[in-house]
A = this chain, B = another copy of it.
Amino acid sequence: MARRSKHGPDALKGMIVDAAEAILAADGLDGLTARALAERVACSPGTLYNVFANLDEVVLNVEARLLDRLSARIADARPEVRPRDAVLQMAEIYLDFSHEFPRLWSILLEHALPAGQATPDWHRARLAELLGAVEARLVPMFAPGQQAEAALAARVLWAGVHGICSLSVADKLTNVTAQSARVLIRDLVETYLRGIEARRPQLLPGSA
């Protein structure tokens, strides 16, 4: 064996990440062993380490693809006009996505790098991109010169939606099923935005 890769090295990388995603979705982090992954890719464990530094890097690549998929889904959505509807739409996409890939989603949230290793930059960048999308749809609700308030609101809303989704996926919200998580999200977005309007009803009354 050891024939030169018929697929280029990038293709091999893709195959490994594919296989890793399948294993993670089926068996969680504990199921992803170097030997199990190698067997699924039909190569030896050593080959994995020619392409990735370690298993953590494989997991990170799965996470990256997952985040990209979410970004694409948000980008593909038919844009709603009213800011409230647009934010609600994003929140529901977020919710649906987390429940569509519950295992992968949990791994994305749970996966902690060993020791001092910080979250990689591309990870933070992808999260910042999502946050920016919320912020962009929120800006019309605020007067010019209140971008700081819009940025704050975006972070609060996004963190809140995230909290509902993660607790819901982990089944930790007592008496809250996947179904009713949607109700929570609607209530959060509508009530929070109503609270914003109630603070400055005179500025942009038409934006409600």
Contact = CB atoms under 8 A, between A and B. Distances in A.
Contacts of A25: none
The number of times this chain is found in the oligomer is: 2
Interface in A136-154: 151-153
Interface string A43-69: 000000000000000000000000000
Given A114-B30, A174-B131, A195-B192, A156 B152 contact: no
A204 interface: no
A111 B107 CA distance: 10
A187 interface: yes
Interface residues of A, number: 52
Contacts of A80: none
B187 A152 contact: yes
Given A131-B174, A163-B161, A164-B159, A194 B184 contact: no
**Which applies to chain A's interface (DSSP): helix, strand, loop or mixed?**
helix
A187 B152 CA distance: 8
A124 interface: yes
A207 interface: no
A11 interface: no
Lowest 8 A-B CB distances belong to which pairs?
Answer: A163-B163, A195-B195, A160-B160, A191-B195, A194-B195, A198-B198, A159-B163, A110-B110
Given A110-B112, A164-B156, A119 B171 contact: yes
A167 B173 contact: no
Contact of A112 (B29, B151, B187, B194): B29
A77 interface: no
A159 B185 CA distance: 10
Contacts of A131: 173-174
Contacts of A111: 110
Most buried by B among A110, A173, A191: A191
Nearest to A181: B159
Given A110-B111, A131-B174, 9 more contacts: A28-B112, A28-B115, A109-B110, A119-B172, A155-B184, A160-B163, A160-B188, A188-B192, A198-B198
